[in-house]
Chain A
């Protein structure tokens, strides 16, 4: 479910794309400084969107510094300075990486080397999450909630729950992560955004895995909802419409948030362009296979 939440750089101003990349670098730095290096190899742009949205909603000021890192040791690159929003988002990313590794380990159809890498790396991730939770009670509570939520989700997938149920569960997870540490109006906005994003991403991931799951006869909630691959072609139009609805809802929520214009532009770009393009790619890939 990671890898879909990206911007469309061609439609961002140069300074906005620079800010987007600075947030990416800043998030990695905050993760390494706050928790350790375990999440660095799996760092992705998905949580950059979360960091941008949280900065926007909470009106948290940011500062861009020029820094080197172990991947770019020669030239200094712009990176957002560490702050509370980046640290909290980095912890959310660490938890998602932990749960994804657990999922991959539990998936007997996953490639051997991926499972081996998870087996070797997961203890590092677990150690970092545990140490961070010991120092911060709110982190500990979030970690426990995520563990339970993902455990419930795996059990429901194993039992073959329907698409709405699975989307609702994942929406709850992302809603909790997005609104972590907030209250009142900010919590409602972030939770609402996380909810719609979670539903969109779960369905998109299921659509993307259709062919693989069909071959391995593995559980896929979209296949179940369509009654098999025969009913899929008719249902694809409906699914596309529902996905469009989630994107519009996210856009409406973003419209209610006042704040830094560059951050707002980045968030709108990710929702209107990046996510829409990701969905289009997945559906076109599916249509090519059918043809």
Chain B
């Protein structure tokens, strides 16, 4: 994969908010709905996949940098999740929709912050 920061058009020093803003702008531009009735839907989907992978890579890299260990485990780490739909959306790569759902139900729990 190309440099994820280059894909999103941000510098590596950009804040999380700037990265998120750049991701949203690109997701809006290359959303498959914009190209649904054109012959380039597959090219747009490929582009969207690249953008999602780049955003994912940046988030993982930054989470890895900031992790202090002992935090809430993985998605399948015992106990029923209170946000199963949000987890599904994250697994499907639909981060914007997942974020909208989380914002709508901000209960301040550890799981909420983890998913955020």
Contact = CB atoms under 8 A, between A and B. Distances in A.
Interface in A227-263: 249, 252-253, 255-256
B30 A255 contact: yes
A175 B38 CA distance: 16
B72 interface: no
Most A C-beta atoms less than 10 A away, residue of B29, B38, B39, B40: B40
A281 interface: no
A78 interface: no
Contacts of B29: 255
Interface stretch (A33-41, A97-105, A139-147, A185-193): A185-193
A256 B47 contact: yes
Counting chain A residues whose Cβ lies within 8 A of the other chain, the interface size class is under 10
B44 A192 contact: no
Interface in A178-212: 185, 188-189, 192
Q: SS class of chain A's interface: helix, strand, loop or mixed?
A: helix
Given A188-B43, A192-B39, A252-B34, 9 more contacts: A185-B43, A188-B39, A189-B40, A249-B38, A252-B35, A255-B29, A256-B30, A256-B40, A256-B47
A235 B40 CA distance: 30
Interface of B: 29-30, 34-35, 38-40, 43-44, 47
12 contacts: A185-B43, A188-B40, A189-B43, A192-B39, A249-B38, A252-B35, A252-B40, A253-B40, A256-B40, A256-B43, A256-B44, A256-B47
Contacts of A185: 43
A192 B35 CA distance: 13
B85 to A, nearest CB: 31
A189 B35 CA distance: 13
Nearest to B35: A252
Contacts of A255: 29-30
B4 to A, nearest CB: 14
Contacts of B34: 252
